Each structure stands twice: as C-alpha cells, then as structure tokens.
Structure 1
Amino acid sequence: MLSAVTEIGRLVSQPKVKIEGKIIFIVLGSDLSFKGIELEDFIPEKIDKYLYKHGESKGNRPSPLAPINPKEPEKTFAKIANWFKNSKRTLNLNDQEINITKIDDVFEKEKSIILQELKNQINQIDKKTNKFLSVRISGKYLGDFELFRKIFDFNISQRIGKSSSKNKACSICGEVKNTVSARTYVYQFDTDDKPGFITGFKKENYWKNIPVCQDCRNLLQNGRNFIENKLTFKFYGLKYQLIPKVLLSRSDILKDILEILSDTHKSISLKERIAKRLTNDENEILEYLSEKEDVMTLNFLFLKSQQSAERILLLIEDVFPSRLKTIFDAKRCIDTLFNEEFNFGKVRTFFYKSDQDKRESDLDKYFLEVVDSIFRGQRIDFNFWVKFFMQSIREDFINDNYYLSKTRDAMMCISFFEKLGLINFEEVVMEQNIFDEVFNKYKLLNTPEKRGIFLLGVLTQMLLNKQYSERGSKPFMKKLKSLKMDEKDIKALLSEVHNKLEEYDAFDKGKRLIAQEASKYLLQAGDSWKMPVDEINFYFACGMNMNDEIAKVVYNNPKVQEKTNE
C-alpha cells in the first residue's frame, strides 16, 4: 500500500495542502516585546513560511503552528511556548540573530495578557472556521528566519532518527540509502512505543519493520496529501481512502485518473456522469473505475484518528475493476427487482448501533466485515448476520415503527449477497404453485417451511391491516411475541389468524387460498425444523413486508381468480 501512495506522490507534480481557516499570530516586535494579536487567512502557498508540517499528529508537532481548541486555548498557547522553550536545547544557539531565551521570557511574563487577547480574537471568528496559532516577529513569518528553519528541520530529522539505521535498503524504492527510518511520519499507524510491534522486541531494531528513506518519505507525504484531498470519501459515518495501484508498467492509466481528479472541470463532468453510487458520497468514483481494465487494483483504507495516532479499521487490498463491475451488476439487478435504489446504506442500517440510545456507533466492526466480504468475494454466514437483521426489525416492531421498511431493506441485502454468490440457497424441487413468480424472484424462499412461514406472515399482515383500518390499532401484534416465535408458535398461529379474520368477516376467497397454501407448505415441512428462532421470524417478517405483492397475485391475476371461484 505504501508503495502505491508513493507512486501517486511521484505522479502528482504539485501537491497541495487543502486547508481553509484563520491563523492567529502572536506578534512580537524587533525587540521581541509583545505587540498584540493579528489575524490572517490560512494561505496554502505560505506553508513553508508558516513552517507547517502537514500530516503530523496534533499532540506532537515539530511545527510552531498549532490548531486551536476554542475550549482550551491555554493548551494551544502552551504548545507554541514549549516549541520555543525546547528550541533552546535543540541547537547551539549562541550568537544567533534572535534571542530565543528572551522570547521564552516574554511568553512567561505576558501569558495572561496574550491569553486574554487570544480568547477575544477566537470569539470573533465563526465557530465552524478552522483556527491556528503561530508567531510573527517584526512583521515576518517564522519561516523567513534561517534560525527557525534550522530548528524545524532538526526537529523533524530528530524524530525520524529515533529509530533509524545507516546504509540500508529502503523498503519502498529498494535502494540502499544513507539513512532509513521505520517511522514514516506520514501515516500515524506505525508506532515504536509498544514492544509487540518491534522486530525482536528491541526499540533500536524498529527501523527493520518498514525502513523508509527521506526521498520516499517526501513522496509518501505528497501522495497522502493528494489522497486526502481527492481520494478520501465518506462512508456512512466512516471514511475511506481509495488508493489505486497499477500493475506492470501501466502508470499512464494511473496518471490519467489522477489528472481527471485534479482538473476541476473534468471532475464535475465525471460527477455528473456517474448516476449510480454504492455509498452516500456524491463524489464517489467507483462506477467510473469499474469500467477500467484489470491493469490496476484498488486499495480501500479505512482509518480512525485516535489522539496522536491513527488506527487501521480495515484495509481491503487488490480489488480489481472487474470485481467492482460485478458488484455494480448485482446492484442493478437488485434495483430492478425491488424497484428501489440499493447501496451500502441498506447494510449500514443493521450495523450501526446495537442500542439506539448509544451516542456512537458500536457495530463498525461488523459493518466493515460485510463490506470486506463484498469487495473480496468471500462467503458470509447467513445465520450469523440474520441476527443483526432481526435485532433491528424487532426494535421497530416492538415500538410500532415502520418495521416493514426495515424488513424490505434486509431482503434487499440478502438478495444482493445471494446475487454476488456470498450466500447460496440450495434449490429444493417442489411442485408448481400459484406463487412461483414471487418465490422464484426471492431465492431465499427455497424450502417448504420457509414458504409456509412467509405466507403466514403475509396473511398476518393482512389481518393487522384490517384491524388498523377498523379500530385504529393492531391488538393481534401481541400474539406475535415480539417476533421471537418458534416452530410451535408458528404452527399454532395459522388457526388463530384464520379465526380472527373470520371474526372480522374478512376471510375472503383470496385469503383462504393463501391460508391453504401456507398450511400445505407447513405440512410438507414436517416437524423439528433445523432453523434458529431468528431465521424463522425473518421469513415471517419478509412475508409481512411482501403482503401487497402476494395480494396482487391473488386478487389481480385472472387465472388465480378462476381458481378461487371454483
């Protein structure tokens, strides 16, 4: 993956830092006395003057420019003050053009005044605007002074040199370089503070993990800058970096893709052309990439920032464009089958929170496992995932929310998985039935017990609809045991639904036909179904959701009408 990022960095001629916001400067005069506070727009072209190090962790920057936490400006000020304080120990600073000790003293003496003016300035800036803090001396930026440039460069080299070696091969370019280091300082998921991550458990050997030379480190930084600006996409509360990698010597293809993404007008045209998406990001380019030849692969990197580090939630490597095409073909089939747009948001519905009262998502792990299986083409365990479907459906059912919509989403997911071959429902030979048109569309209804449970769900929803139309309530829902019914409950329920429909004088010929078919299938299924409770209730809920479709077969089909009139 790092070699792919490096190649992108090599092809991007002018990497840009895409940051918008304001910089608040602590202004010092030529005599280094405090002169006040000044405000300026963050101008990316001036990052060298700011001594800005893009991609560094927030907690340990080698840069004298720090993002401001409006709630704790004192901490931001302390970071800047500490940068100067630590600089006194960085180099031999005798006879330098600026007396850093004097700056340190001014910050100590004027701290309360500086903080008060800093807070006043923060309050005048819109809360949504990014804010940074730095220092300007005698009208100049710190990067205008050779002294501070030396300190800045030295700090970076010192950090890199903590785990490095001389005259060793770089893991990216393969060349023997004067110095290589294991810390990329571009991605923050490499760490040298945990022995378990270090070769031989010795910190001095950490460079052996991912030795990187300074040239490749610079290219890595350029590549990540571009990826963050152009190839980072939203993913239902998460984000992923899309990292293309070319095979053989086809860097021209990668270059074409990067040029399209770099050119604003081309990007807008691409955005308008892509009508179908798998995610909720309107800038998604996966359909465009699915049309490419298999001379490149795609890496999907899901990262999560945690304080001063980054954690890899999921890395999906080497996905071919042909795999993307297979996924989009399956999506189009499901769109047509359900007459509704399918995307990964349908999956996320069931893998977001285990409890709606939770403040944050706690099911990211399972959601990403499903995503991983989809892109890799790996089989999934239907019985395991159906638990999550039913957990969410039950919650809406118990609270009398619109559980039918949730059930439809679950059916779309299962049908999508089946279309991709992640789940297989073995076909069982059964005699022809008036509902074969429906059963053939939804492959999961492949055994007598599943069909019987499904049709009973249809009939039950028809009863609930009748109750609601006449009474404004659905008291029969109590009989459904919060959708935790077992085999015995299902078999007993059929006669109860029958009797209740008779009470409402609603057991017409169409419903009678549905009841007959449900009874026939349940009898064929026999006893001792090898089916968990969650699965039983899933098929029942599917029937409740599809009651309109079955009703069309019963009441709008002339052949079926003839059968009901016999």
Structure 2
Amino acid sequence: MGFLHAAEQLGSMEQSNGLEPYLMFPFGKEGKIIMVYLDVADPNADVLDIQGIKKMELADHKDASEMKLKYLYRKKAGSNIKWGFSPIHFIGRPKKNTEKNRELLIGDTGNWVENTKTHFNKIRNRLLQDYEKEGAFAEGSVDNIMTDMEVKVEAIVENWVSNEPHLIIFGADKDGEFLYPGEIPAFVYYFQKKIKQSLIGKKSMKLRQRCTMCGKVDTGMTTLSKVFKFSTADKVNFLPGLDKKLAGSTFPICTDCFEKISAGRERIERLYSNSSVIPGLHMWVIPEAVGGEDDEHFKYLIVNKMDQQKIGESLTTLGDIREERYLSRLAREGQGLIFHFLFLEKIKAQELVHLMVEDVPPERLAFLEAKWKEAMTSVFGDVSSGLALDWAVKSLYITLSKYAGQSKGDRIVMRDFTIRTLGKMLRGERLPVATFKGIIVSRAACLVYETPKWDDVKKNMLYAQVWVEFMQRVNEGVA
C-alpha cells in the first residue's frame, strides 16, 4: 500500500479539479502536433455540424499545465475499441521515404477505405465515427472530414518530416484561431460521457462498496485496474479466479481517491519514470513524505529536490558529464522522504510488475553510492566519471548483456538476474557475488568471441570486476 499512498500523495499536490485528474499529456517529452482546423458553423453548439476542413498547421507539443485541459487527452480504454476519449490520433515518427509515409496514411493504392491498416481508415472507423454515433457530430460530418482529409493528404505528408513522434488533433477554426478539443463543449461532453461509462459500470452505479483507500462507503465505485493495469480480468493472475463478473469487487476505490491516484500516476510517468535502465522495462521512483502530515513541506521536498531534474535526464551514459544525478541527489537530499521503486513491463493492455521495493530510505541509497565509488576507484583508480549511483544501476545490465552475446534467451536470463540483484540492493540484502562470478567466468569466452574490439572486451571485464568489488563491499556492510 505504500506505493499507492505515495501515488495518492503526489496526486493530491496537483490541486486539480474537474476533468484534469483524468487527463494526461499526449507526449511525455518532445513531439509534433498536426492541427486540423474543422470548418464548424458554431463551435459552441451541443452538436457540431462540420462542413469539412479549413486548413492544417504544424505545432510543437507543449507541456504547460493549461495545455493538459486544452488537449483533453486520455489513453484509450483498450487497443481494440472503436472510440477514444479525445479526437487525437497518433501517427508516430515518419519514415525516411515520403512515398512510404503517404502509403501509411492512405495505402499504396489510395484505397484507404478498404485498407484497415492505414491511418485514414483508423481515424474514420476507430476514432471519429463514434462521435457521430453518440450525437456529438451531425450526420454526415465524418464523411465531410474524411473527404477533405483525402484532398489535403499532401499537407499531412509535408508536415510529417521531423524525426519526432507526431499526432493529428482535431479542433475547430474560429476566426483563424485554433480551438483545442478542451475548448469545444461538444468534445468536453463526449469525454465526460465516456469517462463515466469506462470507469463506472452500470452495476457499480447501484452497488454499495467500501473504498479500499479511504474507507468511504458509497455507490458508483471504480477499480484500481482503471489506473494501473497490473491485473486483467482474462488473465490467470486475476484475483477472483477468472470470474469477470467480480471484476468490480477487486480493489474498489471511490471517485475522489481515483482522481488523486490517477493524477499521481500521470506525474510519475511524466517526471519519475525511466526506460533506459533495462531495455523494455520502465523504472519508477516514487517519493513519499514521512514524519508528519505537513503538505507544504512535502511539496517543497518534491518540487525543489526532485522535479528540478527529471529522472529521464539523469540516467545517461558513462561519458556524459553532469553536475547532478537523480539517485545521487535523492541519497544526499532526500531526508524526509522514502522511495518506492517499481520495475514494470508494458505488454499491450497489461502492465507486468517485475519488481516492487517499497520504503527505501535515502540512507540506503547513500550507502550504495559510497560503496560504488569505492569499487570504481579500486579498479579504475582516480576517476571523475561513472561514480554516481545512477550509473551503477544502469551499468549492471549493460555489463551482463555483453556476456550474453547475441542470444535473446540469454539476455532475458541476464535481465532477470539484474532485476533480482537490484531488488536485493534496494532492500538492503546480501548480494549474490558468487553467482555473479560464476556467470562471468563461464561466459568470458563468449564475450571475447563475439566482441570485435579488444578495448571493449577489456572494458567489460573491468566493469565485471567493479561489480564483484561492489557486491563484496556491500555484503560487508549488510548484517
């Protein structure tokens, strides 16, 4: 529960209201937005009568707080559903070939109506059509939009060139200015309607339940799985034993707690997530205040000691020189906080948790960093880089993967060993130095044979020695 309380605490400091707790930014960092100016007679009407498209423009993604409400974005409830919360369609990064980009939009023959893999087909059938079905668009509006989309396809191709992720967002033209979805009442009402349908089923509207977080008893509860997809009703690990009828009874939470946890998750993914430690996995480092209920003090700790440096900007390569490191800063300045570490893998709709370590004090991080510095200097001598705990965490899998060679199966084994070792480090347990030595010795020949440059072989062997030194020094300090 520590992790959930931390997420709730982070969400509480957002001071959001209305729809904001349910929203997120379309992109975590940089991205490009192709704005489609819809030709609407009255953008404030309950039902939008769309005659077509006036123009398209390219803009940068903005992460200012007010833009979250304007984008009105929330991830789709599932990969196979034929509607979205927001009139936004992601088209990804462009290919190097312009003709290939055009094919992705309308197909190689231009018959996008029949080609279900094209972006135009998905925009029509898996996004816009439901707006007309639900009464947000007047009849014939989708046909008018797609007719003009086809005419203006070259405008999309011309704007889809920067090597950044792109999306198409539908808004309205008002005297030459672009109205975002969050500024158009019909889109806002559609979003509200879909949120209610998605989060609170018909049965939950009548069933009285107790919120697992705050203890409140009421109807209209939703479930934690609407925020974290750690279990899904059709998987074996679903608690009620594959009975989908009991899905609403699994970890019910009230609307207030849902909004806080949902806002907390958005903040975690935006500020405290990193995907470069272990390929394919996301590492979350979630702070929680301890030693009092002073909300202002917690906000000071978070804003001044964590938000100033995003985790994704700190876990970098050994050659990068930075004055501050994320985990190093937490070790030095994290007094008053404890940390929850989560390593998860996103597999379609499910989020598979490989490791969760709760209640890690900053003193433990400081201890680990001190031992890492000792190990680095004992092997490499007087060095000025690679001494941060951030690099220690990242270097373990990098080192082990070199000994796995080209085998995908061996890399998975090395990944799992890395996860278990990091878990022991964070929990303050003894590290498996003998097992690590056995892996290195048995696979040294593979490293030499499959590594073309001898300097790389030498460097990887030295890093393996650093890890042996580090593990031994940590074990000496662990009871």
TM-score range with shorter-chain normalisation? 0.7 to 0.9
TM-score (norm: length of structure 2): 0.73
RMSD of the TM alignment (CA)? 3.9
SS of residue paired to 2:220: strand
Q: Does residue 256 in structure 1 map to residue 297 in structure 2?
A: no
> Which residue is 1:151 aligned to?
190
Q: Does residue 379 in structure 1 map to residue 379 in structure 2?
A: no
SS of residue paired to 1:318: strand
> Which residue is 1:333 aligned to?
374
Shift of 1:29: 4.3
- CA shift digits 1:17-54 (9 cap, x unpaired): 45542133163343622235412424443443433226
* Structure 1 portions without partners, runs of 5+: 425-566
Q: Does residue 179 in structure 1 map to residue 220 in structure 2?
A: yes
> Which residue is 1:466 aligned to?
none
> Which residue is 1:401 aligned to?
454
Point out which structure has higher relative CO (alpha carbons under 8 A, 6+ apart).
Answer: 2
Matches within 5 A, 1:37-186: 37-41=55-59, 42-44=61-63, 45-53=66-74, 61-69=84-92, 70=94, 72-73=104-105, 75-82=118-125, 83-90=127-134, 93=135, 98-99=137-138, 101-107=139-145, 110=147, 114-115=149-150, 117-118=152-153, 120-139=155-174, 140-162=179-201, 164=204, 166-186=207-227
Shift of 1:413: 0.8
- State how far apart, in whole Å, the 2-side matches of 1:220 and 1:117 are: 41
Percentage of identical aligned residues: 18
Shift of 1:56: 6.3
- State how far apart, in whole Å, the 2-side matches of 1:78 and 1:251 are: 52
Shift of 1:250: 4.7
Q: Does residue 221 in structure 1 map to residue 278 in structure 2?
A: no
Shift of 1:107: 4.8
**Across the two proteins, how many residue pairs are aligned to each other?**
411
Shift of 1:177: 3.4
Moved more, 373-382 or 50-59: 50-59
Q: Does residue 5 in structure 1 map to residue 1 in structure 2?
A: no
Q: Is the Cα–Cα contact under 8 Å of residues 273 and 282 in structure 2 kept in the other structure?
A: yes
Residues 304 and 120 of structure 1: is their aligned pair in 2 closer, same or farther, counting only changes over 3 Å?
farther
SS of residue paired to 2:221: strand
Q: Which residue identity lines up with residue 429 of structure 2 in the other structure?
A: Q
Q: Is the Cα–Cα contact under 8 Å of residues 88 and 169 in structure 2 kept in the other structure?
A: yes
Q: Does residue 418 in structure 1 map to residue 453 in structure 2?
A: no
Shift of 1:115: 4.0
Residues 56 and 204 of structure 1: is their aligned pair in 2 closer, same or farther, counting only changes over 3 Å?
closer
- CA shift digits 1:123-162 (9 cap, x unpaired): 4333323321232345344444433322211112111124
> Which residue is 2:114 aligned to?
none
- CA shift digits 1:154-211 (9 cap, x unpaired): 1121111248463322222232233211244333334233364142532121123221
- State how far apart, in whole Å, the 2-side matches of 1:119 and 1:189 are: 42
Shift of 1:64: 1.6
Q: Which residue identity lines up with residue 283 of structure 2 in the other structure?
A: Y
- State how far apart, in whole Å, the 2-side matches of 1:168 and 1:281 are: 53
Shift of 1:240: 1.4
- CA shift digits 1:392-428 (9 cap, x unpaired): 532243467344433322221111111111899xxxx
- State how far apart, in whole Å, the 1-side matches of 2:336 and 2:15 are: 23
Residues 305 and 57 of structure 1: is their aligned pair in 2 closer, same or farther, counting only changes over 3 Å?
farther
Q: Is the Cα–Cα contact under 8 Å of residues 346 and 410 in structure 1 kept in the other structure?
A: no
Q: Which residue identity lines up with residue 413 of structure 1 in the other structure?
A: W
Q: Which residue identity lines up with residue 235 of structure 1 in the other structure?
A: V
SS of residue paired to 1:299: strand
Q: Which residue identity lines up with residue 454 of structure 2 in the other structure?
A: N
> Which residue is 2:420 aligned to?
369
SS of residue paired to 2:340: strand
* More helix as a share of residues: 1
* Structure 2 portions without partners, runs of 5+: 42-48, 95-100, 107-117
Q: Is the Cα–Cα contact under 8 Å of residues 334 and 415 in structure 1 kept in the other structure?
A: yes
Matches within 5 A, 1:261-280: 261=305, 264=308, 267=309
Q: Is the Cα–Cα contact under 8 Å of residues 338 and 359 in structure 2 kept in the other structure?
A: yes
Q: Does residue 24 in structure 1 map to residue 26 in structure 2?
A: no
Q: Is the Cα–Cα contact under 8 Å of residues 29 and 137 in structure 1 kept in the other structure?
A: yes
Shift of 1:302: 1.9
Q: Is the Cα–Cα contact under 8 Å of residues 350 and 388 in structure 1 kept in the other structure?
A: no
Residues 259 and 299 of structure 1: is their aligned pair in 2 closer, same or farther, counting only changes over 3 Å?
same
- State how far apart, in whole Å, the 2-side matches of 1:262 and 1:294 are: 12
Greater Rg over alpha carbons, structure: 1
Q: Is the Cα–Cα contact under 8 Å of residues 73 and 115 in structure 1 kept in the other structure?
A: no
Shift of 1:251: 4.5
Q: Is the Cα–Cα contact under 8 Å of residues 273 and 283 in structure 2 kept in the other structure?
A: yes
